[in-house]
Amino acid sequence: MSYGPDIPYMSRAGYFSWDRIVTLAGLAILCVLAWLYIVAGAGMGASPLDITSLTLFPHQHTTDMAVHMRAMDNMSMSGMAMKPATWTFTAWILVVAMWWIMMIAMMSPSVVPTVLLYARVYRQASGQSGPRDRLAPTAVFAVGYFSIWLVFSVSAAALHWMFESTGIISAENFGSQSQWLSSGVLIAAGAYQFSPIKNVCLSHCRAPVAFLSRHWRPYVLGTLRLGVMHGAYCVGCCWVLMLLLFVGGVMNVAWIAALSVLFLIEKTLPAGLLASRATGVILIAWGIATILV
């Protein structure tokens, strides 16, 4: 049953409407600020550009770097990320913030079509006498969407602490030091690309018109719920792929950018489904190769 308003045809003039430009500008600014925060170190005391590397088997590079640093008697890592034993409340907040802002940077481009579609519905209703008071501004939808990624970030930070405290990932570059963690995450992420849950969630993300028409609810709480629901589908689509950051390094800019592009292709381009399957095959093969090296 559809509860939402009719989705109007987008005329050529509609593509250049003032509210559409403002919405796009707001998302672009949010994305740029998130990226600037990441490149500045995300409050972790380490420059992502210094720890970013491109290697086929990141756990080998991470382990070699850790051995070198220990040989240099620099175990304190002054000016870099905290050791797990020093994870104070402030440290937890910083790590959660780091993950959340990374999620905002990575997901902002791929959520643009859905946010713009909601903005169009809101603009159409604003020109009518009755329905406007039943709709909330587009910002409410965006808040709901990104709030669910905050919940994911809290969980990711807990996993981050567990991996770091056991030495599975490095406290220097937040990357895997374990061959089995790397291979396991790569294979799991590849297999997930073919799972029914991935298919359902990706289908919702690729069909914003159907999603809004089916799940639309009136008023601020309804719009907030709509944003949270769309965010939940996005988390369901991407969460295993996000764990790949533990393989390449949580603040590895190259891996963050690569995943961002993948999400954008999967959710917005006609070849998104093919790209998703091809990525799954590549990740599984990469994971098997990681076991064999």
- pLDDT for 249: 87
Residues in the chain where the model's pLDDT stays below 50: 1-3, 8-13, 64-85, 129
**Hey, is 202 helix, strand or coil?**
helix
Instruction: Determine the pLDDT at residue 84.
Output: 45
pLDDT single digits (tens) 200-238: 999 999 999 999 888 887 788 888 999 999 999 999 999
Do 61 and 55 form a contact (C-beta atoms < 8 A)?
yes
Q: Which helix (H) or strand (E) holds 292?
A: helix 272-292
pLDDT value at position 241? Answer: 97
pLDDT tens track for 157-194: 999 999 999 889 988 778 888 899 999 999 999 999 99
Per-residue model confidence (pLDDT) at position 126: 60
